[in-house]
Amino acid sequence: MLISRRLLSGLALAALLAGSTTAHAAPKTDFKVAWSIYVGWMPWGYASDTGIVKKWADKYGITIEVTQFNDYVESMNQYTAGAYDAVTLTNMDGLSIPAAGGVDTTAVIVGDFSNGNDAVILKDKAALADIKGQSVNLVEYSVSHYLLARALESAGMSEKDVKVINTADPDMVGAFQTPDVTAMVTWNPMVSELLKLPDATKVFDSTQIPGEIIDMMAANTEVLKDNPNFGKALAGIWYDTMAVMTADTPEGAAARTAMGVASGTDQAGFESQLAATKLFDKPADAVAFTASPDLEKTMDLVRTFLFDKGLLGSGAASADVIGIELADGKVLGDSANVKLRFSSEYMKAAADGAL
């Protein structure tokens, strides 16, 4: 199962904004990486288990400890508090938690984007327009909430046209089968389970907002600045693992099976989730995506959504409160308060064979 992925906790966020501090960075040789269960992040656990992490750490004379968290929010909390040097997260959560918590964070690896893993599902209705006036069950302030906002916008509606019901992700499938629940927004594997039900119809999914729900490996900017070999090792680990995982070979099948089992499914289940994921297994593709002007548009949508929900910090006067630096150096928002950066440096090094 995908447990606790992409979940924004209001209490956790409030605690971060009240008490977090940016981790002090200094040249060092030992690094800690946090990750949590999701199809696009399973390669990190596999790389640790099979020696790929050690191979690249050894190449640069460093050590990298990779730790799995069952609680996605806690992994970001620990990173924001300075206990970890890097963490897997989405573009939205990177802005709303570590960046809003004051930690300057850089996207080292843009690994994938949701390409069908997230969906709006209605009961006994066949069109998105039918959602008007309904109560919609979702994980409030998660990427599901963002997907709903984008879906409503595409149909000329807004959140005022529905009522959001906060629902925990483990409760989704069971809740949908009760009479009172008629509309739901969630992610895989819950989407796949819901669509097996005879009264469920998918009316909108993340293929209709391509590139907006992005999964990344992000690191503390100052740590990267002082220790560029850490960034190089992360890139080496990712693309080395991608070569194994995507191969049409017995070794590739075994890797996908291992990742499936580790995430609570099997090879077929894992491959089904991969099919709904735009995976950047080639560094040149990740560099091109990061350099695209579409990323600026996406992050403007994301920061506007977060500001509207009050998730950019108490007292934020506008969505410009936090600066977001794009790969070409352009900054969205406050250039004096840049806290989230998209860099193609390490992905480009991989593409150029310079790792």
pLDDT tens per residue across span 282-321: 999 999 999 999 999 999 999 999 999 999 988 899 999 9
**Nearest to 237, CA basis, from 5, 3, 65:** 65
Strands 30-36 and 63-69: parallel
Which ranges constitute the DSSP H helices of the chain?
Answer: 10-19, 42-49, 52-59, 72-80, 91-94, 143-154, 172-176, 190-194, 221-226, 228-245, 250-262, 267-275, 283-291, 293-308, 345-351
pLDDT value, residue 25? 56
For the domain 10-113+213-351, what is the CATH code?
3.40.190.10
Taking residues 148-168, report their average pLDDT.
96
Residues in contact with 43: Cβ distance below 8 Å, sequence separation at least 6, in sequence order: 111, 238, 241, 242, 245, 259
Q: Which residue has the higher pLDDT, 5 or 228?
A: 228
Whether the CB-CB separation of 318 and 307 falls below 8 Å is answered with yes
In this predicted model, which residue has the larger pLDDT, 142 or 203? 203
CATH number of 118-208: 3.40.190.10
Beta bridge partners of 35: 68
Looking at residue 85, its amino acid is D
Q: Contact at 8 Å (CB) between 183 and 136?
A: yes
pTM for the model: 0.90
Q: Which residue has the higher pLDDT, 25 or 147?
A: 147
Residue 12 pLDDT greater than 60, yes or no: no
Q: Which helix (H) or strand (E) holds 215?
A: strand 214-220
1-10, 33-42, 152-161 — which is least confidently predicted?
1-10
- CATH 3.40.190.10 domain residues, the chain: 10-113+213-351, 118-208
Rounded to an integer, the average pLDDT of 125-134 is 97
Kindly tell me if the per-residue pLDDT of 71 is higher than 90.
no
- Has residue 31 got a pLDDT over 90? yes
Separation CA 87–CA 75 (nearest Å): 7
- pLDDT value at position 86? 98
pLDDT in the model for residue 91:
97
30 pLDDT more than 50? yes
* pLDDT, position 5: 52
| Residue 338 parent element (H or E) | strand 338-342
pLDDT band at residue 24, thresholds of 50, 70 and 90? low
Give the mean pLDDT of 192-219: 96
- At 15 the pLDDT is 43
Residue 146: what pLDDT?
Answer: 96
Share of the chain above pLDDT 90, in %: 85
Checking if the pLDDT of 13 tops 80, the result is no
Whether the per-residue pLDDT at 95 is higher than 80: the answer is yes
Nearest to 217 by CA among 298, 306, 105: 105
Res. 20: pLDDT tops 50: no
Residue pair 158/144 in contact (Cβ under 8 Å)? The answer is no
